[in-house]
């Protein structure tokens, strides 16, 4: 049917090549899987889900779905685990951006971050190189 073909086309547009890096842990895998279900939902400042998110709202919600409580603000998440360089990142790790650490996302694999960027945008995948990377954090 035309509707089925259109649904297939919409899905294929959403397919992202995340490579085949293994997640850092089953916890990280579960958090990333939870966050993936929220792609396309709107960024709303201060929102912690489940229908809209800001950056740290998405990451804290995702880890909560996986059974881990992490701090809500990005600066708190920056100190919630082991710090990593870019070359050490594995899917599900937190990635912190900007000198004041005001932005956080989840490393999704293949140089991509899954994050809630800013007002007027939606939860999406983006190149890790589009923002000033500071360090990763493994929960």
Catalytic-role residue among 30, 109, 115, 136: 115
Query: With b meaning 16 or more CB within 10 Å and e meaning fewer, what string describes 87-97?
Result: eebbbbbbbbb
Q: Rounded CA gap, 86 and 116, in Å?
A: 20
By the 10 Å C-beta count (0-12 exposed, 13-18 middle, 19+ buried), 126 is classed as: middle
The catalytically annotated residue of 31, 41, 55, 137 is 55
Active-site residue, 102 included: no
Active-site annotation holder among 34, 53, 77, 103: 103
Is residue 13 flagged as an active site residue?
no
- Which residues are catalytic, by number? 55, 103, 115
């Amino acid at each position: 049917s035309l509707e089925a073909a259109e649904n297939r086309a919409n899905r294929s547009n959403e397919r992202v090549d995340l490579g085949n890096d293994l997640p850092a842990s089953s916890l990280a895998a579960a958090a990333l899987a939870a966050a993936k279900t929220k792609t396309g939902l709107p960024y709303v400042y201060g929102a912690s889900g489940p229908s809209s998110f800001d950056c740290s709202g998405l990451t804290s919600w995702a880890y909560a779905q996986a059974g881990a409580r992490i701090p809500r603000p990005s600066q708190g998440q920056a100190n919630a685990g082991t710090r990593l360089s870019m070359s050490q990142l594995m899917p599900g790790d937190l990635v912190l951006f900007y000198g004041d650490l005001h932005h956080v996302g989840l490393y999704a694999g293949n140089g991509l971050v899954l994050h809630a960027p800013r007002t007027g945008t939606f939860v999406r995948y983006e190149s890790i190189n589009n923002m000033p990377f500071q360090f990763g954090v493994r929960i």
